[in-house]
A and B are shown apart, each in its own frame.
Chain A
Amino acid sequence: MTATVDASGHVKVAFWNNPKVRSIAFQILLVLILAVLFYEIVVNTTNNLKSRNIASGWEFLNRTAGFDIIQPPIDYSSASNYGRALLVGFTNTIILSIFGIFFATILGFTMGVARLSRNWLISRIGTLYVEIFRNVPLLFWIFFFYSAILQPLPGPKQALNFMDGVFLSNRGLMMPRPVFGEGAWIALAGLLIGIAATIAIARWSKARQLATGQMFPVLRTALALIIGLPLLGFIAAGFPLTWDVPEIKGFNFAGGLQIIPEFIAMLVALSVYTGTFIAEAVRAGIQAISHGQTEASYALGLRPGKALRLVVIPQAMRVIIPPLTSTYLSLTKNSSLSIAIGFPDLVATGGTVLNQTGQAIEIVGVWMAVYLSLSLLTSLLMNWFNARMKLVER
């Protein structure tokens, strides 16, 4: 090792001893090793598959699937190709996850706040809910709700009839489906204008409140706009709306909107199970806010509801959001348990494709890539939301 001191007093070290050079060199080396390893794995795998006469590659996506899927959300029949079948599964996964997240959030927030209620009964209900649903494996809840739908409910011919056109049976929930006729776009335009106007009014009233302290009944105005404008549109177009009512035809109901029992069971199980974690996150978030905040807002004359909504929750959000993100991620991933009861999500349809084609590596690759991207996307959205909700210091 040779170290000399140059004129300016810096210690001059040899090129290969320079820490900067070293760190870069080692990183390049690591990347190279990884690249070689990766290349080796791919080549090795391809050769092995070929030598054992197992088909590989992506051509199978264009071959005819030949199997049917219950209630495909996008156009699909047994004549469609495998790629389309995977897309159906993917769409079902997305639909299930979005609805699951929506209901789990509502349930979780309600129960989280309820657990902190000063009312004995309400807080006990919250505790009971969390402790029961959190402490039993999700798969059990899925089977439980699936059986709970199938066992007690009658067959389609003896379906329970709640109101006109709404039937509940062991084939699921049947509802009338709205069919929009000509001129329905006027109503849609009314709805869009209503939403846009509501946003504008909310902004204006906030600015006015900050400036003058006067409050504006935003909620009532918004409701009137969002419901009233489309209604006016409908009237203007002469009610271009008919209902496709489900009817017993042969074995089952035909027409209408059908929600299959597998979807209901999955949605309920995912929502109540995930809701418990959200409830706990919400409780933790609220408890993290010092009690002085609540007392101060009471002292300012805010009623308990407003104190919670305007002072406590906004501050609690920054504690709630990070665990909320992981809960959303696990809900999306847990939706893959659909396969247990035959809801055709990505894993279920992918599994069928895998079995028909035998191309395990490609299908497993698709599964991993899809769940990884969904998770990353959710994280991205939640991080953006988190940044917006951050405590702004003045």
Chain B
Amino acid sequence: MKTKFLSWVLGAAVSAVAATAASAGTLDDIKQKGFVQCGVSQGLPGFSNPDSNNNWTGMDVDFCRAVAAAIFNDPQKVKFSPLNSKERFTALQSGEVDVLSRNTTWTMSRDTSLGLKFAGTMYYDGQGFMVKSSLGVDSALKLDGATVCTATGTTTELNLADYFKANNMKYQVVAIEDANELVKAYDEGRCDIFTTDQSGLYAERLKMKNPAEHVILPEIISKEPLGPVVRQGDDAWFNVVKWTYYALLTAEEFGITSANVDEIKTKNSGADGNPEIKRILGIANEDGSAAGFGTGIGLSEDWVVSIVKGVGNYGEIFERNVGAGTDLKIARGKNALWNNGGLQYAPPIR
């Protein structure tokens, strides 16, 4: 009887989860409730980090704001759910969040077996190592026998095992779930090395008691494309999220910024306006017909204008959160646009 009760409770829990997801389209639900529920990290400077007034900032946060701006023309209509690396997929699968924008690596197994879809790569990253400078290590290949701190349930944990195995080195892993406990354990000397995505290393280093005591090793041991994720099976919502990302890139490519978007819009409003800009900004043709595609995906025609006014283009988001003017001082590198030698590339809006 006891085992039957167990399965019963388990089954009931699962059915309840399943029931919540079986509703109308996500976009309609969001329009009805009036905000986007966005899954973010528990605090990673530059990507998703709450300040002392509980205002969230960071690239991942700004992406959610861009989605909110595209839907509601108001980047503030978004609520954030801080999730640890273990909870994140379950929270998305169960419908607790509408979009997961939480420095999450796009991998084949996640894309195919979790019932999820990655909408793009907000940030091209790779896994690196941080060590105390007092250890005098200058290469990851000299880490034989070290103790490594890492977050559980991440691709980091898997790459780590592969890397040490491939280089025939031994190590001990201390895997802690909570991001803050993990950083604390490393800072208190439980481990010799801390490993995560390199952008994360720069961010976490700021949290150390004495950031100058830690160096980040040059080796990058993996590809970590980080991007927003949605549930599989709702293509309309997937399109909104995917094209919000492309809109950010396209706006940068055409030099449309939060400062000049209105100006560009008026300049191209006449019959002699650039047809490409007209399509992007959703400026109606002379005969009043729609030039853009915003209404086609359930948004307004001037959705790109709303996004850029709300959060700026991709370049603005990057510089504001992680760029040269911030504590992180990360160069654009692989995250530059394709025509500047980077990997960020958006299909044309036409």
How many Å lie between the Cα of A49 and that of B7 in the bound state? 17
Q: How far is the CA of A372 from the CA of B8 in the complex (A)?
A: 14
Q: Does B185 contact A (CB under 8 A)?
A: yes
Question: Looking across the interface, which residue of chain B has its beta carbon closest to that of A146?
Answer: B185
Residue from the list B86, B175, B182, B192 in contact with A354, Cβ < 8 A: B86
The minimal Cβ–Cβ distance linking A249 to chain B, given in whole angstroms, is 6
Q: Which of A79, A150, A352, A365 contacts B157 (CB 8 A)?
A: A352
Given A68-B161, A352-B157, also A45-B14 (CB < 8 A):
yes
B residues in contact with A44, CB < 8 Å: 15, 18
Determine if B6 and A352 form an interchain contact, defined as CB atoms under 8 angstroms apart: no
B135 with A53: CB separation less than 8 A:
no
Interface 1/0 per residue, B144-174 and A, CB below 8 Å: 1111000011100110111001000001111
Selected from B10, B113, B174, B233, the residue in CB contact (under 8 A) with A262 is: B174
State which of B85, B146, B189 has its C-beta within 8 Å of the C-beta of A155.
Answer: B189
On whether A249 and B176 interact (CB within 8 A), knowing A150-B190, A170-B190, A376-B2, the answer reads no
Q: Knowing A41-B12, A170-B190, A261-B190 touch, does A351 contact B161 (C-beta < 8 A)? A: no
Please tell me if B89 contacts chain A, counting CB pairs below 8 Å.
yes
Q: Is residue B177 contacting chain A, with contact meaning CB distance below 8 A?
A: yes
Given the known inter-chain contacts A51-B233, A342-B177, please indicate yes or no for A45 contacting B161, CB distance below 8 A. no
B4-20 contacts to A (CB < 8 Å): 4, 6-15, 18
Cα(A354)–Cα(B93), bound, Å: 13
**Shortest Cβ distance from residue B329 to the other chain A in the assembled complex, whole angstroms:** 29
Q: Which chain B positions have C-beta within 8 A of A348?
A: 152, 175, 177
The A-contacting residues of B in range 183-209, CB under 8 angstroms, are 185, 188-190, 192
Is A360 at the interface (CB under 8 A from chain B)?
yes
B13: nearest chain-A partner, CB-CB: A364
Which chain B residues border A70 with CB–CB below 8 Å? 172-175
Contact residues in B for A364 (Cβ distance below 8 Å) = 10, 13
Contact size range, B: 35 or more
Task: Tell whether, in the assembled complex, residue A342 and residue B176 are in contact, meaning their CB atoms are under 8 Å apart.
Answer: yes
Is residue A176 contacting chain B, with contact meaning CB distance below 8 A? no
Q: How far is the CA of A52 from the CA of B231 in the complex (A)?
A: 8
| Assembly CA distance A146 to B11 (angstroms) | 37
Any chain A CB within 8 A of the CB of B21?
yes
Would A249 and B145 be within 8 Å (CB), given that A68-B160, A70-B173 are in contact?
yes
Of A189-197, A219-227, A250-258, the segment with at least 4 beta carbons within 8 Å of chain B is A250-258
- Of the listed residues A143, A360, A361, A376, the one surrounded by the most CB atoms of chain B closer than 10 A to its CB is A360
Query: CB of B178 within 8 A of chain A?
Result: yes
A53 contacts B181, C-beta separation under 8 Å: no
The verdict on B90 contacting chain A, using a C-beta distance below 8 Å, is yes
B15 and A250 contact, CB distance less than 8 A: no
Question: With A and B bound together, what is the CA distance between A54 and B174 in angstroms?
Answer: 30
Question: A361 and B4: CB pair below 8 A?
Answer: no
Contact B8 A34 (CB under 8 A): yes
Q: Does B115 contact A (CB under 8 A)?
A: yes
Q: Are the CB atoms of B173 and A368 closer together than 8 Å?
A: no
Given known contacts A45-B11, A66-B161, A340-B178, A54 and B152 CB-to-CB distance under 8 angstroms = no
A-contact bits for B284-301, CB 8 A (1 contact / 0 none): 000000000000000000
Question: In the assembly, what is the distance between CA of A153 and CA of B143, in Å?
Answer: 22
Contacts of A102 in B (CB 8 A): none
Nearest Cβ on chain B to A160's Cβ, whole angstroms:
14
Contact (Cβ within 8 A) A344 B175: yes
- In the complex with contacts A341-B181, A355-B89, A67-B157 CB distance below 8 A: yes
Closest-CB distance, A259 to chain B (whole angstroms): 13
Cβ–Cβ contact A251 & B114, under 8 A: no
Knowing A340-B181, A364-B10, say if A69 contacts B145 (CB, 8 Å). Answer: no
B12: A residues at CB distance < 8 A = 41
B18 CB to nearest chain A CB (Å): 4
Q: Which residue of A lies closest to B157 (CB)?
A: A67
Q: Give, as a whole number of angstroms, the nearest-CB distance from A18 to chain B.
A: 26
Contact present for A41 and B11 (CB under 8 Å): yes
Query: What's the nearest-Cβ distance from chain B to residue A342, in Å?
Result: 4
Q: Is the CB of A250 within 8 A of B145?
A: yes
A34 CA to B192 CA, complexed, in Å: 55
Q: Is the CB of A78 within 8 A of B115?
A: no
A151 CA to B185 CA, complexed, in Å: 9
B164 (CB) vs chain A CBs: closest residue: A68
Whether B147 and A52, one on each chain, are in contact in the complex, defined by CB atoms closer than 8 angstroms, is no
- A151 close to B114 (CB less than 8 A): no
Given contacts A45-B11, A69-B175, 16 further A-B contacts (CB under 8 A): A44-B15, A44-B18, A52-B18, A67-B161, A68-B171, A71-B172, A155-B189, A251-B146, A252-B172, A252-B192, A339-B177, A344-B175, A351-B86, A355-B86, A356-B158, A358-B113
Question: A-B pairs with the 5 shortest C-beta distances?
Answer: A355-B153, A41-B11, A48-B18, A78-B161, A342-B176
- The 10 sampled A-B contact pairs (Cβ below 8 Å) are A38-B4, A48-B22, A67-B160, A251-B147, A342-B152, A351-B152, A355-B154, A365-B10, A368-B9, A369-B6
